[in-house]
Amino acid sequence: MWRKRLAAVLLVLLAAGLIVLAWALWPEHPDTQAFGELTKKYKVEIVRDEWGVPHIYGKTDADAAFGLAFAHAEDDFLTIQQTLAASQGMLAQAYGKDSAPADYLSALLRVKDVVDAGYDTLAPQSRAVMEAYADGLNYYAFQHPDQALLPGLFPITGKAIVAGSVFKSPLFFGLDSLIGELFMDTRQRQVAVKGQAALPSSPAPQTAAAGWGSILGMGAAAELYGSNVLAVGPGRTPDGATYLAVNSHQPWTGPVAWYEAHVHSEEGWDMSGATFPGTPAIIHGHNPYLGWAFTVNHPDLADVFVLEMNPDNPNQYRFDGQWKNLEVRQTTIWVKLLGRLRIPVQQEVLWSVYGPTVRRPHGVYSIRYAGYGKVNIFEQLYRMNKARNLAEWQQAMKEGGLANFNVGYADAQGNIYYLYNAMLPVRSPDYNWSLYLPGNTSETLWTETLPFEKLPQVLNPPAGFIQNANSTPYQTTSGAGNPSPKDFSPTFGIDTKMTNRALRALELLGAGGPLTFDQFRAVKFDESYSQQSDVVRFVNFILQADLPADPPAQAAREVLRAWDFKADTQSQGMSIMEYWLDRIGAAQDLQWSSLVGQSVGDELLVHTFVEAADLLQKNFGRVTVPWGEINRLQRGSVDLPRDGGPDLLRASYGDMSKDGKVIGNDGDGYIMLVRWDAKGAVQAFSIHQFGSATLDAASPHYADQSPLYVRRELKEAWFADGDVRSHASRVYSP
């Protein structure tokens, strides 16, 4: 009898287990039926041109925002969902334990609290745009419930859209890397002592700690490679035109990959350019009156403070001679195990007078960073989109929430302008801010930032051009008009390095004389290394170095001896240089951009050169390999030779495959060249490395722009209504 009962119990348990397993594995989609009526609120028309680029027409700005979200979702809905889930601490419930650090970071930075506290401070029209954008995503989910894959995300709200900016913004100046540094096994920096020399501040080093950025697919990992912005005023052009080059370098896929769009409303929003997944405005490009482009700058906007803890109370720290209580919370991170089966994981999140705080075996640390509490980043972009002149645009910049980024600007009136945008903390000169700081005194608790008017900036310089390529603001143009480093405290950590891209831009634009639009275009696509660059320095060294009797290395040196320092697809010298730079970076655990201006020892240069030559010989059977054979653009069935190289104005970066090829994943991607003629009429040309269908491999626009891209050709970015409609391939409403 007992055997029968045991068998019955086991059968019940087995059945229950099978039911739980079936439930866990059953596809999980939100109930989106309630979103079906949303389309009645908005009057939107989407015109897809022959390249699939969406031109969104709305009666109101909110209508246009609804259409922008819907159109972008058609091409990259999953990435938009992932971006929004990351900001709200919802990634681990969809992707498991590897995404838990992102959810922890969202809780640590109190993203939800910041948005809840600040959302109602946004202008009503701005909130309407955020909510309409959210509605566009919700309505797309209603039409495609099988694509609404991330649990707990729907319904998406205006607050969720704003949370995306609150979460992502500090990652662009390396906050994730700085926090990741604290989670290493030992303390990574000394603690500053009052009275030490105030050395220039520096952001967190890009080491293995930057794994936070790689987990999120954004932040420090994304901003390493660089960007370009160039602008030329009417005094330098033969016909009085004004030029602007929009050329930010971002990863080609993921949450900070560029998506081209044009937004037009009857309320005066008329902006063409590129944006990121989850962003309810165009990030950079042009409207009828003006345009701008961003490049990442690297001021010191974040600090780590070492707290002095009470030995009798682990939740108290000393500050100005008194014990203060840490704010202690427990956050719950839901982690996916199998299908929809998830477990809750409790994690401590702390807060001090400085800000987010973490407890580690080697200390208790607080982080303070610029821009905390700002919820108006997307409102700022929206205002910039609608600005009609330099004064309105500057006011939007001044009052906005963007904590960093260089910005280059040009307009129909012939103004060109550069701004080193940064919320620079005003710090005590009595401490070395490149170290950790003592967290027991208000002397290290900075509360003010440098006023907008005092930031480094250049307006209409005599040389008639401005440029920035992730380089110092102190060499923005040639001759008079540059900011002086003497006017800025070293505690700001303002960039001082010159990239090859910046050196070449100065050489090419600073030569004087009139510049046609074709010549301006040629500057943007320049693929040469400056004689002042690190690459030339490395080559000159190896030409004189005492190399071992290694045949590939000896042969590679002779190739470099004849190299013209260009990176066209036929260049053999660039092939060797790429392999060499890769080996140098691997030896120092650095990516290429972090090598710029760094000291690389002679012995290491020789060792890595020999290593690179041997590896090239192994992979291709020779060292005389044309660069286009190695450097490839691959997308679906497309496989094309690619020119350009690291730190060139024609920037090219990629991952090395098992067969030794470099598969492009970053660098020149979305490019827009804009021209206002002497009467103020605007015309623009653009290219995307793939196409408008950033996620849909079945679309004809998945890689239709790639052949043009590798040939350095641009398509016209139609802007006027008549031009857009004459090139329409599809016109529809959501």
What is the three-state SS of 350-403? Answer: EECCCCEEEEECCEEEEEEECCCCCCCHHHHHHHHHHCCCHHHHHHHHHHCCCC
Mean pLDDT throughout 669-693?
97
By DSSP bridging, strand 313-319 and strand 631-635 are unpaired
3-state secondary structure of 239: coil
Helix, strand, coil % in the chain, rounded to nearest 5:
40, 25, 40
Q: How many Cβ atoms are within 10 Å of 599's Cβ, its own excluded?
A: 6
b/e map 8-46, b = 16+ CB within 10 Å: eeeeeeeeeeeeeeeeeeeeeebebeebeebbeebbbbb
pLDDT score recorded for residue 496: 95
Mean pLDDT throughout 324-342?
91
CA 274 to chain centre: 13
**Is cis: bond before 461, omega within 30 of 0?**
no
Tell me which of 294-308, 318-332, 337-351, 624-638 is least confident: 337-351
Please give the Cα distance from 489 to 479 (Å, whole number).
Answer: 23
Question: Which pLDDT tens digit goes with each residue over 201-221?
Answer: 544 444 333 333 444 444 333
Question: Which pLDDT tens digit goes with each residue over 402-454?
Answer: 999 999 999 999 999 999 999 999 999 999 999 999 999 999 999 999 999 99
If you ran DSSP here, which 8-state letter would residue 506 be given?
A: H
Please give the Cα distance from 469 to 418 (Å, whole number).
Answer: 12
The encoded tokens of residue 66 equal 């609804």
pLDDT score recorded for residue 8: 55
Mean pLDDT throughout 508-535?
96
pLDDT score recorded for residue 599: 63
Q: Which residues contact 280 (CB under 8 A, 6 or more apart)?
A: 65, 68, 69, 129, 130, 132, 133, 161, 378, 382
Q: Which residues contact 521 (CB under 8 A, 6 or more apart)?
A: 673, 714
% residues pLDDT > 90 (the chain)? 85
Instruction: Please say whether the beta carbons of 442 and 392 come within 8 A.
Output: no
Q: Which residues pair with 316 in a beta bridge?
A: 325
pLDDT score recorded for residue 149: 84
Longest dimension (CA), the chain: 103
The encoded tokens of residue 421 equal 């945008």
Instruction: Please say whether the beta carbons of 132 and 124 come within 8 A.
Output: no
The encoded tokens of residue 501 equal 């891209």
pLDDT score recorded for residue 273: 98
pLDDT score recorded for residue 377: 98
Crossing angle for the helix pair 534-544 and 551-561, nearest 10 degrees?
A: 120
Residue of higher predicted confidence among 623 and 197: 623
* Closest to 522 in 3D by CA, of 688, 246, 713: 713
pLDDT score recorded for residue 568: 98
Residue of higher predicted confidence among 710 and 694: 710
Question: Which pLDDT tens digit goes with each residue over 317-327?
Answer: 999 999 999 99
* Closest to 126 in 3D by CA, of 60, 58, 34, 223: 60
Please give the Cα distance from 106 to 216 (Å, whole number).
Answer: 11
Instruction: Give the CA radius of gyration of the chain.
Output: 27
Q: Which residues contact 510 (CB under 8 A, 6 or more apart)?
A: 463, 465, 477, 478, 479
pLDDT score recorded for residue 29: 61
Mean pLDDT throughout 306-318?
98
Instruction: Please say whether the beta carbons of 481 and 461 come within 8 A.
Output: yes
> Quick one: pLDDT band at residue 10, thresholds 50, 70, 90?
low
Mean pLDDT throughout 246-273?
96
The pLDDT of residue 222 is above 80: no
pLDDT score recorded for residue 50: 98
pLDDT score recorded for residue 224: 44
Please give the Cα distance from 19 to 306 (Å, whole number).
Answer: 51
The pLDDT of residue 11 is above 90: no
The encoded tokens of residue 610 equal 């020999």
How many CA atoms, within 13 angstroms, populate the side-chain half-sphere of residue 619?
21
The pLDDT of residue 26 is above 70: no
pLDDT score recorded for residue 595: 53
As a whole number, the mean pLDDT across the chain is: 91
Please give the Cα distance from 521 to 226 (Å, whole number).
Answer: 19
What's the residue count for the chain?
734
Mean pLDDT throughout 549-570?
97
3-state secondary structure of 431: coil
pLDDT score recorded for residue 333: 94
If you ran DSSP here, which 8-state letter would residue 88 be given?
A: T
Q: How many Cβ atoms are within 10 Å of 587's Cβ, its own excluded?
A: 15
User: 721 phi and psi, to 5 degrees?
Assistant: -55, -45
Please give the Cα distance from 336 to 348 (Å, whole number).
Answer: 20
Mean pLDDT throughout 278-290?
98
Please give the Cα distance from 217 to 253 (Å, whole number).
Answer: 9
The encoded tokens of residue 470 equal 């992730």
Instruction: Please say whether the beta carbons of 430 and 488 come within 8 A.
Output: no
* Closest to 563 in 3D by CA, of 654, 498, 645, 506: 645
Mean pLDDT throughout 709-727?
98
pLDDT score recorded for residue 488: 97
Question: Which pLDDT tens digit goes with each residue over 576-622?
Answer: 999 999 998 888 765 555 555 556 778 889 999 999 999 999 999 99
Sign of CA dihedral 269, 273, 277, 283: negative
Instruction: Please say whether the beta carbons of 102 and 215 come within 8 A.
Output: yes
Question: Which pLDDT tens digit goes with each residue over 31-52?
Answer: 667 788 888 899 999 999 999 9
User: 655 phi and psi, to 5 degrees?
Assistant: -105, 140
> Measuring CA to CA, how many Å separate 642 from each of 3, 285, 569, 724?
72, 25, 6, 30
pLDDT score recorded for residue 199: 54
Sign of CA dihedral 468, 469, 473, 478: negative
The encoded tokens of residue 225 equal 């490679």
> Quick one: pLDDT band at residue 5, thresholds 50, 70, 90?
low
Please give the Cα distance from 249 to 230 (Å, whole number).
Answer: 14
Tell me which of 115-129, 169-183, 381-395 is least confident: 169-183
pLDDT score recorded for residue 216: 47
How many CA atoms, within 13 angstroms, populate the side-chain half-sphere of residue 461?
27
Tell me which of 174-178, 187-191, 211-215, 597-601 is least confident: 211-215
Mean pLDDT throughout 242-268?
96
pLDDT score recorded for residue 2: 60
Instruction: Please say whether the beta carbons of 51 and 715 come within 8 A.
Output: yes
Domains along the sequence of the chain with CATH: 46-204+301-369 (1.10.439.10), 227-299+375-431+448-524 (3.60.20.10), 534-648 (1.10.1400.10)
> Quick one: pLDDT band at residue 475, thresholds 50, 70, 90?
very high
Question: Which pLDDT tens digit goes with each residue over 360-382?
Answer: 999 999 999 999 999 999 999 99
Question: Which pLDDT tens digit goes with each residue over 617-657?
Answer: 999 999 999 999 999 999 999 999 999 999 999 999 999 99
Mean pLDDT throughout 669-690?
98
Dihedral, CA of residue 417, residue 423, residue 428 and residue 429, to nearest 10: -30
The pLDDT of residue 575 is above 90: yes
Mean pLDDT throughout 482-502?
96
Please give the Cα distance from 388 to 575 (Å, whole number).
Answer: 46
pLDDT score recorded for residue 589: 65
Q: Which residues contact 596 (CB under 8 A, 6 or more apart)?
A: 497, 499, 500, 534, 647
Burial group, residue 191, by CB count within 10 angstroms (0-12, 13-18, 19+): middle
Burial group, residue 250, by CB count within 10 angstroms (0-12, 13-18, 19+): buried
Q: Which residues pair with 344 in a beta bridge?
A: 334
Please give the Cα distance from 428 to 421 (Å, whole number).
Answer: 21
pLDDT score recorded for residue 525: 98
